Amino acid sequence: MEPGHHAPRRYGYRWPMRVAIVGAGWAGMAAAVRATQAGHRAIVFEAARAVGGRARALNSTLPDGRPVVLDNGQHILIGAYTRTLELMRTVGADPASHLLRLPLDLRFPDGEGLYLPAWPSPLDALAGMATAQGWNGRDRWSLLRASVGWQLAGFRCVPGTSVATLCRSLSPTVIASLIDPLCVSALNTPAERACGQVFLTVLRDSLFGGRGSSNLLLPTTDLATLFPATAAQWLHARGAELRTGARVAALQVDDTGGPNGPRWHVDGEAFDAVIWATSCSNAASALTGSSQDAPETIANSLRAWAGTASALQFEAIATVYAYAPTAALPRPMVALRSDAAHPAQFVFDRGRLDGQHGLLAFVVSASEGDKSALEHQVLNQARTQLGLELVPVQTVVEKRATFACTPAVQRPPLAIAPGLWACGDYVAGPYPATLEGAVRSGTDAAAQLGKAVH
């Protein structure tokens, strides 16, 4: 039986519902906010003591002994992240106060690369192509021709197409200064292995998505305050419950076939529905365990979903925080020329973002290798490309940061079994593993509450 498909029976759900949400990352908190808005009683279980999942705040110390608040990986948003921005406004985290909005800027330290002026779309993209430093006429024409072709095709490509194949008509300069950095930052997968269709979706919604959609939105506060911690306060004020330090050990189902559908039990506590919002590996393991005692039809769905989730491959992301008292960049975010010896693709000036002067954050997407060796390479990259001598502060490596967004990847669906849904940036959807992808899956899962299932 395919995951998300169940025996032909209909359940009607009572309203409001008592809903368990397992996991307080961005997807889980998004689901909790939307469920609460709809009038349901949301109870959130989180194994950690803090909310936010892989996008949360960290406490650290600068070389001079001063305390500093970092993030568990440097993140950015873009103007096309409509659901994330909407949800931030809902819980009281005003995007204008917490995000620095800038035109898309992929320029290197020497000024070469693409910069889009603050003009309406698609004029901003056309102007960026026309004025990109280090590009010649052939470079500009290759991108213009490809862009028109993508638009005429409705931003669709042949299934199984990689980004490298999709962009094979582009000049080497455009690939090196635009496609490669965009691909690895958005999909966290190198162009030769990345899914062309997902990349086209990102391009459609950002570069060609309307005024401001391509803007960079750089956090000026820690990631917890940006949404999950603020959402926790909003939920508490509205009667929802957040249980931190509460690792769920058992998920069981009582499929009595009553008018309200199956009753789910989270560690023995009964719920009308469950939204599972943990990491992919945790979800697969938990649902496989739950299938042992479930009725056959539900057990088949649990195992099928877990099998699809377990087949996903993952990529790492590293963030190297480094410091020097006078370190500063010409812009809040600067693109770097990346290769095997110089692994970082971007560097962020935290002094320009949150006032932590002298602190820089280097991002290595699709990172590989030893943590200490990676840190050494990045410090050398800062020396050769930025002319800065830096001292390491902390290096954060998320080994399973995102799923490998390859052309043939099969992502597990939103629906698992009657009354049970999954959400997370790895769940099936149009976006790669981004904050927007996580938020969309959470709001989509909450939207299913109370709907009849066939």
Q: What is the pLDDT of residue 396?
A: 94
Residue whose entry in the numeric block shows the structure tokens 């980004």: 163
- Whether the pLDDT of residue 325 is over 90: the answer is yes
pLDDT band at 2 (very low <50, low <70, confident <90, very high): very low
Coil, strand or helix at 230 = helix
- Whether the pLDDT of residue 257 is over 70: the answer is no
pLDDT in tens, 29-80: 999 999 999 999 999 999 999 998 887 888 899 998 999 988 888 989 999 9
Express as a percent the part of the chain with pLDDT over 90: 82
Residues 6+ apart with CB under 8 A from 431: 198, 201, 202, 425, 437, 440
Reported pTM: 0.92
- Whether the pLDDT of residue 6 is over 60: the answer is no
Map out the domains of the chain with their CATH numbers: 18-54+225-312+409-447 (3.50.50.60), 58-80+217-222+314-403 (3.90.660.20), 104-211 (no CATH)
Range list of H helices, 55-113? 82-91, 95-98
Alpha-carbon Rg for the chain, nearest whole angstrom, is: 23
Phi, psi dihedral angles at 189 (to 5 degrees): -145, 130
Q: What is the pLDDT of residue 119?
A: 87
Indicate the DSSP class of residue 50: S
Minimal CA–CA distance to 185: which of 414, 397, 434, 442?
A: 434
Say how far apart CA 270 and CA 283 lie, in whole Å: 19
pLDDT band at 159 (very low <50, low <70, confident <90, very high): very high
Say how far apart CA 69 and CA 54 lie, in whole Å: 15
Residue 356 backbone class (left: φ over 0; alpha: ψ -120 to 50; beta: rest): beta
pLDDT band at 256 (very low <50, low <70, confident <90, very high): low
